[in-house]
Amino acid sequence: MIEELMNYGSVEEHASLKGLNTYRIGGTARYLLSPNSINDLISTLKILRENNIKYFVLGNGSNVVLNDREYDGAVIRLNKLNGIEIHPDMEMAYAEAGAMLPKLAMDSVNASLMGLEFAAGIPGTVGGSIVGNAGAYNACILDYVSSVTVLDENLNVKVIEHEDIEYSYRTSSFKTSTKYIILAAKFFLKMGDKDNSLEMIENRRVRRLETQPLEYPSAGSVFRNPEGDFAGRLIESCNLKGYKIGGAEVSNKHANFIINKDNATSKDVYELIRYVHDTVKNKTNVDLVIEQEFIDWE
Ligand SMILES: Cc1cc2nc3c(=O)[nH]c(=O)nc-3n(C[C@H](O)[C@H](O)[C@H](O)COP(=O)(O)OP(=O)(O)OC[C@H]3O[C@@H](n4cnc5c(N)ncnc54)[C@H](O)[C@@H]3O)c2cc1C
């Protein structure tokens, strides 16, 4: 099977996932696959299905909590599907799922197309960001997506138009139903003032450096903000800033960030998230909803 898979992209066995997620935690993948093209992805999936091997797609690993043990299946990365096309004349951009969102945002702005400035500091892929409807500063990616090209459960390529996508704060129909693999998306943008957009991005970059613990590995905000409140404020009100389990710590800079302070294991991060959730629930009666995704924890 391995030889067959190698016809369609790179294949590694028992590959470490530590360098492939922004917490820098996790064990290994039985198979780590990186198909060369959409057709090669389809061939890869057919082989995995024939051999009853489970799989999931990993983007930039910036919104997931992986397990310490080996994932007994295939982790598929779409890092070779990373093309970006910018069309100022049509006020649109096109990006493949493995393209990095900050690169798409900067390429658009450099062509004087406005809309994705909010995304310049979100370290995800286009695919992963559409799944979780990534956003910031009251904007979110699905507001700017005109259509998404996916692979459906029968391995057919399908285009889903904006009006057929359900989404709200940090979630989408792609997250609630995992039957699609996102391949690419089109974005509707507007011609604007490039210098204004660049200045806005720079101001926000400086603000993020001041307010977020970007010097440590993390996966951004752990919990969604509850309606009318902030998860960080609630966590801080429970005196949890600086609370540690093993090498994982609730950031002193931003309480809604858990950082890998000192060689944290996945279990450290997992247990700290649960501890913070339960403490906030007991003390404030607010049931925080986790934004990050636990992969393979059952
Ligand atoms: C420092 C820092 C700051 C952050 N700031 C923000 C912020 O301001 N706003 C925000 O919303 N988020 C933020 N995040 C979180 C994160 O960057 C986003 O959620 C990002 O969009 C996740 O994309 P990803 O490619 O890393 O997805 P991953 O974490 O790799 O995957 C997330 C989910 O999407 C699935 N997936 C990935 N690609 C595909 C695909 N092609 N098809 C189908 N499913 C797929 C995965 O299986 C998984 O279920 C931040 C993270 C960090 C580390």
What are the tokens at 99? 């393209």
CA-nearest residue, atom 2 of ligand 1: 220
Select from 94, 189, 191 the least CA-distant residue to 147: 94
> Which pLDDT belongs to residue 178?
76
Q: What angle do CA 58, 59, 64 make, to 5 degrees?
A: 70
Strand partners, 32: 12, 75
Cα–ligand 1 centroid distance for 57 (angstroms): 11
Residue 154's region, left for phi above 0, alpha for psi from -120 to 50, else beta, is: alpha
Give the closest residue (by CA) to ligand 1 atom 8.
136
Is 224 assigned a catalytic role? Answer: no
Residue 248: phi and psi, rounded to 5, are -100, 140
Structural domains in the chain? 2-77 (3.30.43.10), 84-197 (3.30.465.10), 214-294 (3.90.78.10)
CA end-to-end distance (rounded Å), the chain: 27
> Which two three-digit tokens encode residue 221?
């905000």
Q: Specify the ligand 1 atom closest to the Cα of 63.
A: 29
Cβ neighbours, 10 Å, residue 1: 12
Atom of ligand 1 nearest to the CA of 212: 1
Q: How many CB atoms lie within 10 A of CB 216?
A: 18
- What is the position in ligand 1's atom list of the atom closest to the CA of 129? 21
φ, ψ at 257 (rounded to 5°): -110, 135
Nearest residue (by CA) to ligand 1, atom 51, is 220
Cβ(25) to ligand 1 under 6 A?
Answer: no
Q: State how far the Cα of 27 lies from the Cα of 69, in Å rounded to an integer.
A: 5
pLDDT at 179: 86
Torsion of CA 120, 124, 127, 128, to 10 degrees: -130
Look at residue 124 and give its three-state secondary structure: coil
Atom of ligand 1 nearest to the CA of 291: 19
Say if residues 188 and 91 touch (Cβ distance below 8 Å). Answer: yes
**Largest Cα–Cα distance in the chain?**
55
Say if ligand 1 is within 6 A of residue 131 CB: yes
What pLDDT, in 10s, does the model give residues 133-181?
A: 999 999 999 999 999 999 999 999 999 999 999 999 999 999 988 789 9
Strand partners of residue 149: 159, 184
1 C-alpha to ligand 1 centroid (Å): 30
221 tagged catalytic: yes
The confidence score (pLDDT) of residue 298 equals 79
Return the pLDDT at 177.
85
Of 21, 54, 63, 152, the one to substitute when testing ligand 1's pocket (max ligand atoms within 8 A of C-beta) is 63
pLDDT of residue 164: 96
Distance 60 CA to ligand 1 centre (A): 7
| Residue 291 appears among annotated catalytic residues | yes
**Do residues 129 and 154 touch, judged by C-beta distance below 8 A?**
no
Q: Which residues contact 198 (CB under 8 A, 6 or more apart)?
A: 109
Which parts of the chain register pLDDT below 70? none
Residue ID of nearest Cα to ligand 1 atom 32: 128
